[in-house]
Structure 1
Amino acid sequence: MDIHPDRAYFFGDIGCWVERTEVHKAAALGHVAKLEELIQSGASVNAATVDSITPLHEACIQGQTQCARLLLDAGAQVDVRSIHGSTPLCNACAAGSPECAKLLLEHGATANPTLTALTATPLHEACIRGNVDCVKLMIAEGAQLEAFDIYFGTPLHAACIKEHVDCAKALLIAGANVNGAKFHETALHYAAKVRNVDLIELLVEFGGNVYARDNLGRKPIDYTRPGSPPALCLQFYERTPLSLQHLSRVALRAALGTRAPEVVSKLNVSPRIISYLTYSC
């Protein structure tokens, strides 16, 4: 079938779809004046391509906040999904645009869209791409820290697989389960696999279990090369017990989970202890 750009056609019996329209193009390129002109002339802001990409998806994946605002003000659907299940908020977080993400949330975007077999949550997307500002924004908006993606696992797993230490730390401070497992593999297993000493030290500091075994019966150290820095680091933690002070902090935070930042800040103890418990020192 011949497809003519910018001309509507029917795709089976599922309704009217279009190729990429001028609205899509203006939104992606950040051509605000052109987009405003198209909207005023009656162009559809919810036109979807054959893969269900709308102009709002295009604006968000390119971080075009002004265009996204114009589209939303003109009635663009904020939680529309692409054929792969991505929402505009997923796109904004993948693009590392906290401005776009904030705008979408202000217009009612869902922080925790239902996971599909083909897509992750906005928080996962931010962790995969290493966009710590978007990670912190999504955490503040109540994003589920233990949401489980079929491919990556939890957001913490995603951050560790991609070696984004700052994103992993933001998740852990917010109360992410450091020993959560995907097929018995913990974040520490992934940190060992990517040979990242900084990640290993961070995870252990937050209570990562160096003795945890995956479905193959392997500990994190078993994924390192003997004598390498990651192996020596894990070897040290296996042979050196953590201090009672450290264990107490880990136990308290594990018991509080995601409530830890709020609860600890209200404890009637010295600011120094609160800083220690919240990992802000």
Structure 2
Amino acid sequence: MENENARPYFFGDIGCWSERTEVHKAASQGQAAQLQDLIQSGASVNVVAVDSITPLHEACLRGQAECVRLLLDAGAQVDARNVDGSTPLCDACSAGSLECVRLLLEHGAKTNPALTSRTASPLHEACMGGNADCVKLLIARDACLEAYDLYYGTPLHVACANDYTDCAKVLLNAGAKVNAARLHETPLHHAAKNMRVEMIEILVEFGANVYARDHHDRKPVDYTTPGSPSAACLHFYETMPMSLQQLSRLAVRTKLGTRALKVIGQLHIPKLIISYLCYQ
């Protein structure tokens, strides 16, 4: 518990600076009964530690859903930021706790908090951990597909750099820009560096430019090992043009953008064509 004799230093409307409290510890360790007792005894749920971490940050970072529920019900600030600018939602996405993410969103957490030079968006965090279910939920709550992080680029860059195919598929199907660039580096460059044929194929099917050059003037194939399956895959795509069928699908998807899945599913056309247009 905080030292009641210590003179508090108030910081904004979050509370006061303190060492890591018993509330922090209980939230982090998932000790729901103890946390409930502390709350009922009057302990602050918004007290911040010296690194600006609140008990809610701690609970989300460890995926302690019951503690998250208790803290939110007791008035914990859902969008409090730590010293790096991360919100509890960022931490829950990083931990891959779908239940914590749901609770935070139900209590009004911002899906698209303002980015700083030191923090990524919740969608970035979910992609960093390969948490496809969290990615789906965030997108359903209008997460920005093109949120740009200074160090990582877009969420699709993150998914490809970390070789999370499921996350990449979710983002692409939702309408993420396949040729988004960070210093001219595209998601396909990341897939080539990882030499993952499946990721390369998915990106190209969604319209990735195999001829794109990064700030080193290198194409994706230039990052593969000569003679490797990934190199052969990219060489194939460089020499063989897309079929009219593929080009038609890309044209439709590009025109519809992020509305593609919803609109295509309502078209009065054969299910087989709908399946093809939706990359199913």
Please classify the TM superposition score into its range, dividing by the shorter chain length: over 0.9
The secondary structure found in structure 2 opposite 1:16 is: strand
2:125 matched residue in structure 1: 125
Partner of 2:115: 115
2:84 corresponds in structure 1 to 84
Alpha-carbon offset, residue 216 of structure 1:
2.2
Distance 1:228 1:279 in 2: 27
Structure 1 residue ranges (4+ consecutive) displaced by more than 4 angstroms after TM superposition:
8-15
Is this contact kept in 1: 2:16–2:47, CA < 8 A? no
Q: Name the Cα RMSD after superposition.
A: 1.5
> C-alpha offsets along residues 165-196 of structure 1, whole Å, 9 cap, x if unaligned?
11001100111010111111110011111111
TM-score (norm 1): 0.95
Which has the larger displacement, 250-259 or 7-16? 7-16
Shift of 1:259: 1.0
Larger CA deviation: 55-64 vs 249-258:
249-258
For 1:140 and 1:28, how far apart are their aligned partners in 2?
A: 28
Residues 113-144 of structure 1: CA distance to partner in whole angstroms, max 9, x if unpaired?
01111110110000001011101111111000
Runs of at least 5 residues in structure 2 that lack an aligned partner in the other structure:
none
CA contact (8 A) 1:11 1:17 kept: yes
Q: Kindly state the Cα deviation for residue 151 of structure 1 after the two structures are TM-superposed.
A: 0.8
Counterpart residue number, 1:162? 162
Q: Trace 1:131-146 onto structure 2 (pairs within 5 A).
A: 131-146=131-146
Distance in 2 between residues matched to 1:176 and 1:16, nearest whole Å: 41
With the length of structure 2 as denominator, give the TM-score of the two structures: 0.95
Distance 1:11 1:33, change over 3 A: closer
Q: How does 1:173-188 map to 2 (within 5 A)?
A: 173-188=173-188
Q: Which residue of 2 aligns with 1:259?
A: 259
Alpha-carbon distance in structure 1 between the residues aligned to 2:254 and 2:221: 23
Paired residue type of 2:154? T
Counterparts of 1:87 and 1:143, CA distance in 2: 15
Q: Is the 8 A contact 2:192 2:220 kept in 1?
A: yes
Deviation, 1:11, is 8.3
Aligned partner letter, 1:55: P
Asked if the contact 2:81/2:87 (under 8 Å) is kept, the reply is: yes
Q: Structure 1 vs Structure 2: percent identity of aligned residues?
A: 64
Contact 2:9 2:17 in 1 (8 A): no
Distance in 1, Cα, partners of 2:16 & 2:212: 53
SS in 2 for 1:20: coil
Residue matched to 1:75: 75
Distance in 2 separating the partners of 1:151 and 1:255: 30
- Contact 1:131/1:167 (<8 A) preserved: yes
Find the counterpart in structure 1 of residue 3 from structure 2. 7
Q: What secondary structure does 1:80 align onto?
A: coil
Number of residue equivalences = 276
| Cα distance in 1 for residues equivalent to 2:258 and 2:69 | 32
- CA displacement, residues 80-115 of structure 1 (integer Å, 9 cap, x when unaligned): 000101100000000000100000000000000011
Q: Residues 33-69 of structure 1: CA distance to partner in whole angstroms, max 9, x if unpaired?
A: 1000000000000000011100000010111111101
Tell me what 1:39 maps to. Answer: 39
CA distance 1:36–1:196, change in 2 (3 Å):
same
Question: Does the CA contact (< 8 Å) of 1:177 and 1:254 recur in 2?
Answer: no
Deviation at 1:12, TM superposition (A): 7.5
Provide the rounded CA distance (Å) in 1 between the counterparts of 2:2 and 2:242: 64
Residue 270 of structure 1 is matched in structure 2 by: 270
Q: 1:11 to 1:152 in 2, by over 3 A?
A: farther
Q: What residue is the counterpart of 2:103 in the other structure?
A: 103
For 2:7 and 2:16, locate their aligned partners in 1 and report how far apart those are by CA, in whole Å: 5
